[in-house]
């Protein structure tokens, strides 16, 4: 089925152009002032057409933790948030430590409405499995304590993984970041530093960065601080924890000076009951609030649309070697989101599609909303309605 996105302003090579986008056979066929005949038309007058977001950091919670989320509900939240591809994290039950677990996940993820990729987990004894894993985003090493039992503290084992895994992503905070960077340089490896949250860390990364080392920040660290943690308690508790205003400013500065490469949600849903308990688990959902919050930041002149799109689409595709995604270009995959930069609304728990049904941003007013989400050329989300069309696993190259 062909599709015409008509009358919008389309982000092409960093500029907003008044063009129509003609989509057929899953691809962007033409960016044109003409109006080719299409089976379906989307009126995008007054709207902005962006490449669909690629979220490099999502906990879909399947298998084993599906009372919090599963691939289907995570993908609904993603689609409602303009995210057309996500990479799933390995701290499930069981964790993704061997090929069998990975293959099982591949089956489970088939119900996803958005495209997906997987991280592989590193344990103290799965190096042979790591060597065999194919088409993964990276091997994730937990160098600090967090949800799940995935912490690796043995330096010899960590070094062994850096030696053998082609690409490594780390949950590393403070001094652990220095260690990870040292090992990445020693073995000339791709290193993706997840959810960097403090001023000192940004300063260290700015100094030590190479073309193989990448830095992610999460929306909760950009839009919340430790004072929100004090107010919201468990509901604003995640790893790394929320930091000061000074740290937050450093993250924004890091975005400006290109120390930061990506914004990834670290969508880590837990139920409200779990979060309101005496010992709440770390993590907050973020898939459907990231883009509205960032569009609101564009309206507040904290960010340009071009930069937003680089951090959430073009850079993830380039860094992880996903061909034909991340920008709007003829011949590229038709993963597209149409947004309304002028629509104002209040983020509300009731309106969320994540299974956990709450957000630390509940009650926050934003200007900027997702209207239409197109995945592989199919309109799968518009104005709170979904079309149940399955998406597919992405191919990582390099
Ligand atoms: C994550 C989770 O709940 O899976 N929690 C979190 O606070 N970020 C784990 C993680 O990403 O560290
Ligand atoms: Zn995470």
**pLDDT tens digits, residue range 231-253?**
999 999 999 999 999 999 999 99
Q: How far is the CA of 151 from the centre of ligand 2 (A)?
A: 13
Tell me whether the omega of the peptide bond preceding residue 161 falls within 30 degrees of 0, making it cis: no
Ligand 1 pocket (Cβ < 6 Å) reads 59, 91, 146-147, 171, 238-239, 266, 268, 282-283
**Domain 52-319 - what CATH class?**
alpha beta
Q: Is 266 a catalytic residue?
A: yes
Q: How far is the CA of 173 from the centre of ligand 1 (A)?
A: 13
Q: In 10 A of CB 7, how many CB atoms?
A: 17
Distance of alpha carbon 243 from its chain centroid, rounded?
21
Least confident of 151-160, 197-206, 291-300, 372-381: 151-160
Nearest-ligand number for the alpha carbon of 283:
1
For residue 118, what pLDDT is reported?
98
**Residue located nearest, by CA, to atom 5 of ligand 1:** 283
**Residue located nearest, by CA, to atom 9 of ligand 1:** 147
Q: In 10 A of CB 88, how many CB atoms?
A: 26
Distance of alpha carbon 153 from its chain centroid, rounded?
27
State pTM to two decimals. Answer: 0.98
Of 151, 194, 239, best ligand 1 pocket probe by most atoms within 8 Å of the beta carbon: 239
Give tens-digit pLDDT for 92-147.
Answer: 999 999 999 999 999 999 999 999 999 999 999 999 999 999 999 999 999 987 77
Of 149, 238, 242, 360, best ligand 1 pocket probe by most atoms within 8 Å of the beta carbon: 238
The first and second tokens of residue 81, run together, are 């948030």
Nearest-ligand number for the alpha carbon of 238:
1
Ligand 1 nearest atom to the CA of residue 239, by list position: 7
Each domain of the chain, given as residue ranges in start order, spans: 52-319
Of 56, 91, 193, best ligand 1 pocket probe by most atoms within 8 Å of the beta carbon: 91
Nearest-ligand number for the alpha carbon of 95:
1
Ligand 1 nearest atom to the CA of residue 146, by list position: 12
Ligand 1 nearest atom to the CA of residue 142, by list position: 12
**Residue located nearest, by CA, to atom 11 of ligand 1:** 266
Averaged pLDDT for residues 305-331: 98
Ligand 1 nearest atom to the CA of residue 59, by list position: 4
For residue 30, what pLDDT is reported?
98
Identify whether the C-beta of residue 344 lies closer than 8 Å to the C-beta of residue 367. yes
Q: How far is the CA of 22 from the centre of ligand 1 (A)?
A: 39
Q: How far is the CA of 39 from the centre of ligand 2 (A)?
A: 40
Q: Has residue 225 got a pLDDT over 80? A: yes
Distance, CA of 1 to CA of 263 (rounded, Å):
32
Q: How far is the CA of 58 from the centre of ligand 2 (A)?
A: 6
Distance between start and end Cα atoms, the chain: 32
* Helix, strand, coil % in the chain, rounded to nearest 5: 30, 25, 40
What does the DSSP 8-state code read for residue 111?
A: G
Q: Has residue 292 got a pLDDT over 80? A: yes
The first and second tokens of residue 254, run together, are 């890091």
For residue 364, what pLDDT is reported?
98
Distance, CA of 320 to CA of 190 (rounded, Å):
9
- What is the average pLDDT value for the chain, to the nearest integer? 97
Q: How far is the CA of 142 from the centre of ligand 2 (A)?
A: 10
Of 147, 355, 360, best ligand 1 pocket probe by most atoms within 8 Å of the beta carbon: 147
Nearest-ligand number for the alpha carbon of 142:
1
- In the set 70, 266, 333, 340, the catalytic residue is 266
Q: How far is the CA of 7 from the centre of ligand 1 (A)?
A: 41
**How does residue 28 score in pLDDT terms, banded at 50, 70 and 90?**
very high
**How does residue 398 score in pLDDT terms, banded at 50, 70 and 90?**
low
Per-chain residues with Cβ under 5 A from ion ligand 2: 266
């Amino acid at each position: 089925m062909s599709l015409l996105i008509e009358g919008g302003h389309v982000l092409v090579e960093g500029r907003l152009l008044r063009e129509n986008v003609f989509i057929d056979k899953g691809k962007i066929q033409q960016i044109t002032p003409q109006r080719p005949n299409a089976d379906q038309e989307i009126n995008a007058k007054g709207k902005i057409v962006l490449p669909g977001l690629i979220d490099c950091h999502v906990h879909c919670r399947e298998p084993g933790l599906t009372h919090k989320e599963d691939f289907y509900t995570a993908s609904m939240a993603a689609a409602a948030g303009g995210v057309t591809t996500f990479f799933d994290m390995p701290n499930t039950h069981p964790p993704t430590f061997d090929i069998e677990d990975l293959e099982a996940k591949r089956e489970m993820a088939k119900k996803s409405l958005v495209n997906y990729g997987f991280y592989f987990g590193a344990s103290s004894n799965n190096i042979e499995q790591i060597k065999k894993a194919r088409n993964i985003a990276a091997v994730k090493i937990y160098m600090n304590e967090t949800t799940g039992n995935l912490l690796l503290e043995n330096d010899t084992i960590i070094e062994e993984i850096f030696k053998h895994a082609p690409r490594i992503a780390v949950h590393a905070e403070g001094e652990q970041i220095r260690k990870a960077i040292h090992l990445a340089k020693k073995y000339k490896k791709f290193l993706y530093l997840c959810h960097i949250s403090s001023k000192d860390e940004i300063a260290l990364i700015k100094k030590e960065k190479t073309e193989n080392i990448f830095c992610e920040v999460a929306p909760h660290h950009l839009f919340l601080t430790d004072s929100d943690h004090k107010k919201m308690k468990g509901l604003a508790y995640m790893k790394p924890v929320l930091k000061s205003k000074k740290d937050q400013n450093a993250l924004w500065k890091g975005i400006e000076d290109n120390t930061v490469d990506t914004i990834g949600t670290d969508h880590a849903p837990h139920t409200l009951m779990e979060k309101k308990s005496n010992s709440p688990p770390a993590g907050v959902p973020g898939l459907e609030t990231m883009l509205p919050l960032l569009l609101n930041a564009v309206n507040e002149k904290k960010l340009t649309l071009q930069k937003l799109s680089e951090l959430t689409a073009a850079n993830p595709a380039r860094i992880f070697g996903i061909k034909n995604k991340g920008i709007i270009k003829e011949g590229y995959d038709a993963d597209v989101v149409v947004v309304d930069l002028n629509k104002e609304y209040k983020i509300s728990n009731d309106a969320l599609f994540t299974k956990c049904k709450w957000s630390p941003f509940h009650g926050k007013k934003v200007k900027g909303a997702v209207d239409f989400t197109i995945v592989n050329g199919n309109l799968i989300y518009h104005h709170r309605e979904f079309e149940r069309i399955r998406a597919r696993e992405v191919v990582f190259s390099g």
